[in-house]
C-alpha cells in the first residue's frame, strides 16, 4: 500500500491592538507632584513658555517680559535677585498687608483642548499665615473668555526650592492658557513666597497612560524600606494575643455570639482605635485582621489553636431576606455603600485563601445574589450614598458613592469565577460597562481601587474592552468628582516624601490614611500580570508606597511629630500604625488620626493592611529595586506561575540578582513578550535600564509552551494574555519563540534550516523544537493488524489541528484530495509532541478503493 503524506501550512493574520486613553480634567484644586528637592531646576524638553527663567526685560520697566503685576497692591509683587534657582531673578510675593493681596499674572499662550501638557516650576515659601497662597493655571477661549482654572494651594513653611511638575489636559473650549501667582485666597493672607524657572510643554512623551505618576520622583526620599513582613506579623500576633498587658491591652475581645442570621458560637472583635471599649467591633477591623494575617503568612484558621476564619462568619447578616456581610453584628446596613460592600469583599478575600469551606461558599453566593436583586434599581442610577435592602431603595445623604458600581462588579465577577452563574457575569458586565461609559470620576473610597484590576482581568480573560487607564486615572489624581479633594498624594511634606499615599489632598493640604494607602497597592499591583504596559509607572508608585508608608509608624517620626507618642513609649508597641498623617498639623508632617482623647490615634482599623505590603514587597541586592509579588494579593486568581515586578528607579543601568527557587526555570518578561533566559537554576542576574520595569514569570522548563491566539501558555497555564503574536522584526516568528530557542527576539531567520530538517518558520508552525533533531514531523503508512485496513500515523502536537485527506488515484493534471476528517490533538497538553493515527475503515472515504489506488495526506490546518 503506497501512502503519500504531506503538510500544508498557512499563517493566520496578525492583529495589533491600539490602546487609547482619555483623561478628563475637571478639578478645581490640584496637588502638584514634585521632583527631588534642592536640585537646580531643569526646563521641560520642548518648552513653549516664554521667558521661562524670568530674566528678560526688553523695555527695562522693572517687570519681566510676558508678565504683569496685579492684585490689590502691586507693592507686594517683587521681581527680585535675592533668591533664585537659575540666575538671577525670581518672583517674590512679599505680603505683610492683611487687607491687600498681590499677584503676578502672565500673558497667554496657545494650547489645544484635550491634549496632554506638563507644567513645571520651582517654588519656595518661608511662611504663610491665615490661609494658603496659590499658583493657578487659567484656561481661556480663543476670544479670551475665561473657561476654568486649576490651582495649587500652598501654606505653612517650606524654606527651600522645590521643583513641581504637573500633567494636565485643557478642558473643552480652551484655546489659551495663562498663569498667576497670588498671595492669597483672601486679602487677609500674609507671608513670603518665591516662584522661578517656569516651563510648559506638550506631553507627547507620556506613553504610560497614567500621567499623574509621571510627576513622582524616581526615588523616594528618604529611601528606607521597612521589613513589612515582620511589621505585619508583629501586629497580627499582638492583635490576637489575649495575654499581652499594658494600657488598653490586650486588643483581642472574645465572646460567644448568637446572631439573627444563625451564627452561634465563639467570636472575636478588635477595637478600631486603641482605647476603644472592647466589644464586637467593626468587621473592617476584625475581618481585615484575618485577611492581613493571612497575607503576612500566618494560618488564621489555626492561629493559637483557634479558627478565626470560621469566626469571621459572625458578621454575616440577613436584611429583608438578603444575605450580606456587613460592618456590625445583626446589621441591616449603614446606608453608606462602601461600609456595606467592603466587608463582603473582605469576606470574599478571606474565602479565596481558605477554599473549600461550604458555609463560606453558601454565604458568598448569597452576597452576590443580594446585589443582583439590587442592580435593577441601581443600574444607570449610581449617584446615591448607598442602598437600603429593607426598602429596596437607594439611600441619599449629603454625599454620593458612585464607585459602589465597581465594588458590586468585583463581587459579581468573583462569584462568577467561582460558581459560573452567567447572571453574575452579566451583572459584572453591566456595572463595568456603565463605569466605562462614564466621564465624571466616581472615586469615593476603597471600592474604586478594584476598578483597574477588574477591567484588566476581564479584558484578558473574556476579551472585554474596558478602559483600564480610565480607572487608573480616576485613582491617580488629586481630586474626584464624587469626592472633591480625595485621591492620591503628591508632594514632599517637610523632610519626608508622601508621594503615592492615599487620602485627602486638601484637608490640611494633605491627609493620607494608612488603610487606604496599604490596600491600594495590594489591590492594584496584580494588574501588571494582565496589562504589563503599566508596569513602569505602577512600579514607581509601589516603590514610593513601600518607602513613604513608613510615615504611619511611630518609629519613623520624632515624638514631637506624632500624637500618640506617650502611649507608644509607655507600652513599647511599634507595630500599630497611625490612622493617618497630615501634611500641616501642629508640625509638618504630623502622624495622627480622627480619635478624641483619651482614645489613641494608632488604630487596628488600618494596621491590618500592612499584610498587603508584607505579601508584596521584598528587597533585592540593589537598594531601591524591589521584588514585588504580582500574584500573592489577588483574590481567586487564575492559575499562573510565580510572577514578579521589578522597577529600576535609578538613573543608571542596574543589575539585580533573582533567585529562581528550586529546580530549573525559564525566565519570561511580560513587558517585552520575550524570554530573558532559559534553563536557569540558582540565581539569575538581570539587567534593568533606568526608569524601566520587568514583569518576570518563572516558568518550569519541563512544561510545554503553546500559543492560543494572542495568549502564551506554559503547561496549559496562561503566562501572557496579549503578546503571543508579538513579532518585533515582522518575520513571521513571534518574539517569544525566537527568544525561547535563539536567545533574542530577532536572532532567527525564518527560512534558515533548523536542526530537524525543517525551516525555522515551518518548525514554529508545526510546534517543533528547531534546535532538536528528534523534534520533527514523521509519517508512517501500514495496515491495521487483524482488519487489514489502511492505517496512517503521524507526529502531532497538542492543540494543533490536522486535516486527514485522501485521493483515489493520482493524475498528471492535479490530484483532488478530499477531507476524511479533522483531528485536534487533545490526548496530550497543548505544545506536547505526540502521535496520531487514522484507520481508514472506508466509512469516511466512500468505500474500499480499487487495488493500490488510494493516496493519503495529512495537512496542518492551524499553526
Q: What is the pLDDT of residue 19?
A: 21
Question: What tens digit of pLDDT does each residue of 617-648 get?
Answer: 999 999 999 999 999 999 999 999 999 999 99
- Among 824, 831, 828, 798, CA closest to 704: 831
At residue 247, the 3 state secondary structure works out as: coil
400 assigned to some structural domain: yes
pLDDT tens digit sequence for 558-615: 999 999 999 999 999 999 999 999 999 999 999 999 999 899 999 999 999 999 999 9
Q: Interhelix angle for 404-419 vs 337-353, to 10°?
A: 30
Q: Measured between alpha carbons, how far is 707 from 732 in angstroms, rounded to an integer? A: 14
pLDDT digit string (tens) for 678-693?
999 999 999 999 999 9
Is pLDDT above 90 for 114? Answer: no
Phi, psi of 350 (to 5 degrees): -65, -45
> Taking a C-beta distance cutoff of 8 angstroms, is the pair 244, 250 a contact?
yes
Establish if 118 belongs to a structural domain: yes
Range of the domain at 835: 779-862
Lowest-pLDDT range of 110-119, 214-223, 305-314, 410-419: 110-119
Residues 141 and 271 in one domain: no
pLDDT at 815 > cutoff 90: no
Taking the alpha carbons at both ends of the chain, their separation in whole angstroms is 30
Alpha carbons 742 and 736: distance in angstroms, whole number: 10
The pLDDT-based confidence of 250 (bands split at 50, 70, 90) is very high
CA nearest neighbour of 562 among 602, 597, 596: 602
Which of the 8 DSSP states describes residue 571?
H
Q: Are residues 127 and 238 in the same domain?
A: no
Residues forming beta bridges with residue 502, ordered by sequence position: 488
Looking at 553, 583, 613, the residue that finishes a domain is 613
Contact status, residue 199 vs residue 185, Cβ threshold 8 Å: no
> Which of 207-216, 539-548, 631-640 shows the lowest per-residue confidence on average (mean pLDDT)?
207-216
Average pLDDT over residues 35-51: 62
Question: In terms of domains, do 194 and 234 share one?
Answer: no
Confidence of residue 11 (pLDDT cuts 50, 70, 90): very low
490 backbone φψ class: left, alpha, beta (φ>0; ψ -120 to 50): beta
Is the pLDDT reported for residue 268 higher than 60? Answer: yes
pLDDT value of residue 31: 26
C-beta atoms surrounding 680 within 10 Å: 18
Residue 824 lies in a domain: yes
Q: Which tens digits make up the pLDDT trace of 704-757?
A: 999 998 999 999 999 999 999 899 888 889 999 999 999 999 889 999 999 999
What pLDDT score was predicted for residue 279? 82
In the numeric block, the cell 507595630 is attached to 575
Q: Is residue 510 part of a domain?
A: yes
pLDDT tens, residue by residue, 360-402: 999 999 999 999 999 999 999 999 999 999 999 999 999 999 9
Strand arrangement, sheet containing 790-797: 779-783, 790-797, 833-839
Same domain for 363 and 245? yes
Please state whether 281 falls in left (phi above 0), alpha (psi between -120 and 50) or beta: left
Mean pLDDT of 411-430: 98
> What is the rounded CA–CA span in Å between residue 309 and residue 268?
11
Give every CB contact of residue 437 below 8 A, 6+ residues apart in sequence: none
Q: Which of 23-37, 145-159, 407-421 has the highest mean pLDDT?
A: 407-421
Pair (397, 526) in one structural domain: yes
> What is the predicted pLDDT for the residue at 450?
99
The reported pLDDT for the residue numbered 23 is 25
Q: Residue 302: pLDDT above 80?
A: yes
362 within a domain of the structure (yes/no): yes
With respect to residue 619, please indicate whether it lies within any of the assigned structural domains.
no
Structure-derived torsion over alpha carbons of residues 658, 661, 665, 668, reported in degrees to the nearest 10: -40
Q: Is residue 712 part of a domain?
A: no
The answer on 187 and 336 residing in a single domain is no
CATH number for the domain harbouring residue 479? 1.50.10
pLDDT for res 15:
22
Please state the domain count of the chain. 3
Are 9 and 860 spatial neighbours (Cβ–Cβ below 8 Å)? Answer: yes
Q: Are 715 and 704 in contact (CB under 8 A)?
A: yes
74 and 200 in a common domain: yes
pLDDT band of residue 162 (cuts 50, 70, 90) is confident
What is the spatial distance between Cα 57 and Cα 578, in angstroms, rounded to a whole number? 51
Model confidence pLDDT, tens digit, residues 227-249: 999 999 999 999 999 999 999 99
Do residues 234 and 95 both lie within one domain?
no
pLDDT recorded at residue 3? 31
Q: What is the mean pLDDT of residues 533-546?
A: 97
User: Which tens digit of pLDDT belongs to each residue from 315-355?
Assistant: 999 999 999 999 999 999 999 999 999 999 999 999 999 99
Mean of per-residue pLDDT scores for the chain: 90
Say if residue 359's pLDDT is above 70.
Answer: yes
At residue 54, the pLDDT reads 94
Tell me, yes or no, whether 152 and 235 share the same domain.
no
Look at residue 235 in the predicted model and tell me its pLDDT. 99
Q: Which pTM was predicted?
A: 0.80
DSSP 193-238: EEEEEEEEEE-TT--SS-HHHHTS-SS-SS-----HHHHHHHHHHH
Which of 567, 595, 613 is the C-terminal boundary of a domain?
613
Considering the domain architecture, whether residues 530 and 577 belong to the same structural domain is answered as yes
Write the pLDDT tens digit of every residue in 170-201: 888 999 999 999 987 555 678 899 999 999 98
What pLDDT does residue 149 have? 82
What's the pLDDT at 729? 86
For residue range 427-459, what is the model confidence (pLDDT) as tens digits? 999 999 999 999 999 999 999 999 999 999 999
Is the pLDDT higher at 41 or at 223?
223
Contacting residues for 648 by C-beta, under 8 A, at least 6 apart: 622, 624, 625, 654, 688, 689, 690, 691, 692, 693
User: Looking at the predicted structure, is the pLDDT value of residue 303 above 90?
Assistant: yes
Could you tell me if 184 and 124 are in contact, meaning their C-beta atoms sit under 8 angstroms apart?
A: no
Of 568, 586, 613, at which residue does a domain stop? 613
Is residue 256 located within the same domain as residue 169?
A: no
Percent of the chain at pLDDT > 70 equals: 92
pLDDT of residue 812: 73
Same domain, 430 and 371: yes
Q: What is the pLDDT of residue 36?
A: 30
Domain CATH for 156: 2.60.120.260
Look at residue 156 in the predicted model and tell me its pLDDT: 67
Characterise 673 by phi-psi region: left (phi > 0), alpha (psi -120 to 50), beta (else): left
The string of pLDDT tens digits covering residues 119-128 is 888 888 887 7
Q: Is 697 among the domain residues? A: no
Amino acid at each position: 500500500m503506497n501512502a503519500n503524506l504531506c503538510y500544508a501550512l498557512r499563517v493566520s493574520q496578525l492583529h495589533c491592538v491600539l490602546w487609547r486613553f482619555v483623561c478628563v480634567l475637571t478639578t478645581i484644586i490640584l496637588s502638584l507632584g514634585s521632583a527631588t528637592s534642592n536640585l537646580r531646576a531643569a526646563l521641560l524638553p520642548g518648552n513653549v513658555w516664554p521667558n521661562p527663567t524670568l530674566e528678560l526685560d526688553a523695555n527695562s520697566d522693572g517687570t519681566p517680559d510676558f508678565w504683569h503685576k496685579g492684585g490689590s497692591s502691586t507693592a507686594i509683587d517683587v521681581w527680585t535677585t535675592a533668591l533664585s534657582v537659575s540666575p538671577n531673578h525670581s518672583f517674590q510675593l512679599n505680603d505683610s498687608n492683611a487687607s491687600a493681596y498681590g499677584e503676578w499674572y502672565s500673558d497667554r499662550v496657545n494650547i489645544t483642548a484635550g491634549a496632554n501638557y506638563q507644567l513645571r516650576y520651582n517654588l519656595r515659601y518661608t511662611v504663610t499665615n491665615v490661609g494658603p497662597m496659590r499658583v493657578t493655571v487659567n484656561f481661556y477661549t480663543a476670544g479670551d473668555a475665561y473657561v476654568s482654572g486649576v490651582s495649587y494651594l500652598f501654606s505653612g513653611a517650606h524654606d527651600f526650592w522645590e521643583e513641581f511638575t504637573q500633567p494636565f489636559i485643557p478642558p473643552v473650549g480652551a484655546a489659551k492658557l495663562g498663569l498667576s501667582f497670588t498671595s492669597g485666597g483672601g486679602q487677609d493672607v500674609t507671608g513670603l513666597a518665591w516662584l522661578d524657572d517656569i516651563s510648559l510643554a506638550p506631553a507627547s512623551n507620556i506613553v504610560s497612560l497614567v500621567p499623574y505618576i509621571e510627576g513622582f520622583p524616581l526615588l523616594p526620599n528618604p529611601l528606607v524600606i521597612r521589613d513589612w513582613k515582620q511589621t505585619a506579623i508583629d501586629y497580627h500576633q499582638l492583635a490576637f494575643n489575649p495575654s499581652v498587658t499594658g494600657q488598653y491591652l490586650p486588643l483581642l475581645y472574645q465572646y460567644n455570639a448568637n446572631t439573627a442570621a444563625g451564627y452561634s458560637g465563639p467570636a472575636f472583635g478588635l477595637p478600631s482605635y486603641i482605647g476603644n471599649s472592647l466589644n464586637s467591633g467593626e468587621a473592617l477591623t476584625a475581618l481585615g485582621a484575618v485577611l492581613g494575617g493571612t497575607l503576612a503568612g500566618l494560618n488564621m484558621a489555626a492561629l493559637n489553636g483557634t479558627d478565626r476564619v470560621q469566626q469571621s462568619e459572625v458578621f454575616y447578616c440577613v436584611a429583608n431576606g438578603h444575605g450580606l456581610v456587613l460592618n456590625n453584628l445583626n446589621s441591616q446596613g449603614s446606608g453608606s455603600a462602601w461600609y456595606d460592600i467592603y466587608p463582603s469583599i473582605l469576606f470574599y478575600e478571606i474565602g479565596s485563601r481558605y477554599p473549600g469551606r461550604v458555609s463560606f461558599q453558601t454565604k458568598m453566593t448569597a452576597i452576590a445574589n443580594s446585589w443582583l436583586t439590587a442592580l435593577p434599581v441601581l443600574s444607570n442610577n449610581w449617584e446615591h450614598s448607598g442602598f437600603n435592602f429593607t426598602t429596596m431603595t437607594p439611600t441619599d445623604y449629603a454625599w454620593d458613592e458612585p464607585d459602589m458600581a465597581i465594588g458590586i462588579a468585583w463581587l459579581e465577577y468573583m462569584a462568577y469565577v467561582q460558581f459560573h452563574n452567567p447572571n453574575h457575569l452579566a451583572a459584572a458586565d453591566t456595572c463595568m460597562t456603565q463605569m466605562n461609559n462614564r466621564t465624571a470620576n466616581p472615586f469615593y473610597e476603597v471600592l474604586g481601587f478594584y476598578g483597574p484590576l477588574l477591567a484588566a482581568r476581564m479584558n484578558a480573560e473574556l476579551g472585554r474592552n474596558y478602559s483600564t487607564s480610565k480607572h487608573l486615572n480616576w485613582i491617580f489624581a488629586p481630586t474626584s468628582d464624587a469626592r472633591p479633594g480625595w485621591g492620591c498624594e503628591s508632594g514632599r511634606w517637610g523632610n519626608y516624601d508622601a508621594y503615592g499615599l492615599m487620602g485627602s489632598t486638601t484637608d490640611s493640604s494633605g491627609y493620607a490614611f494608612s488603610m487606604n494607602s496599604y490596600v491600594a497597592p495590594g489591590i492594584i499591583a496584580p494588574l501588571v500580570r494582565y496589562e504589563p504596559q503599566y508596569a513602569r509607572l505602577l512600579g514607581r508608585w509601589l516603590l514610593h508606597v513601600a518607602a513613604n508608608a513608613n510615615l504611619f509608624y511611630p518609629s519613623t517620626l520624632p515624638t514631637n511629630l506624632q500624637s500618640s507618642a506617650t502611649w507608644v513609649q509607655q507600652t513599647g508597641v511599634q507595630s500599630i500604625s497611625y490612622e493617618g498623617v497630615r501634611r500641616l498639623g501642629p508640625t509638618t508632617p504630623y502622624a495622627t488620626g480622627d480619635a478624641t482623647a483619651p482614645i489613641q490615634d494608632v488604630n487596628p482599623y488600618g494596621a491590618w493592611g500592612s499584610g498587603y505590603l508584607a505579601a508584596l514587597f521584598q528587597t533585592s541586592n540593589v537598594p531601591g529595586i524591589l521584588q514585588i509579588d504580582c500574584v500573592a494579593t489577588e483574590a481567586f486568581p487564575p492559575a499562573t506561575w510565580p510572577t514578579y515586578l521589578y522597577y529600576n528607579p535609578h538613573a543608571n543601568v542596574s543589575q539585580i540578582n533573582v533567585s529562581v527557587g528550586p529546580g530549573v526555570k525559564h525566565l519570561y518578561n511580560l513587558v517585552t513578550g520575550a524570554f530573558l533566559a532559559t534553563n536557569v537554576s540558582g540565581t539569575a542576574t538581570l539587567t534593568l535600564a533606568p526608569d524601566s520595569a520587568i514583569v518576570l514569570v518563572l516558568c518550569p522548563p519541563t512544561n510545554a509552551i503553546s500559543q492560543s491566539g494572542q495568549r502564551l501558555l506554559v503547561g496549559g497555564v496562561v503566562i501572557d494574555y496579549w503578546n503571543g503574536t508579538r513579532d518585533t522584526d515582522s518575520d513571521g516568528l513571534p518574539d517569544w519563540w525566537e527568544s525561547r530557542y535563539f536567545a533574542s527576539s530577532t536572532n532567527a531567520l525564518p527560512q534558515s534550516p533548523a536542526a530537524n530538517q525543517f525551516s525555522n518558520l515551518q518548525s514554529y508552525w508545526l510546534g517543533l523544537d528547531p534546535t532538536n533533531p528528534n523534534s520533527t514531523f514523521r509519517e508512517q503508512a501500514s495496515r491495521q493488524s487483524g482488519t487489514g485496513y489502511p492505517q496512517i500515523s503521524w507526529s502531532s502536537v497538542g492543540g494543533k489541528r490536522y486535516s486527514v485527506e485522501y485521493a483515489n488515484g493520482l493524475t498528471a493534471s492535479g490530484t483532488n484530495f478530499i477531507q476524511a476528517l479533522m483531528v485536534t490533538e487533545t490526548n496530550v497538553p497543548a505544545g506536547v509532541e505526540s502521535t496520531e493515527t487514522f484507520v481508514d475503515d472506508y466509512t469516511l472515504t466512500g468505500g474500499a478503493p480499487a487495488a493500490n489506488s488510494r493516496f493519503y495526506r495529512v495537512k496542518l490546518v492551524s499553526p
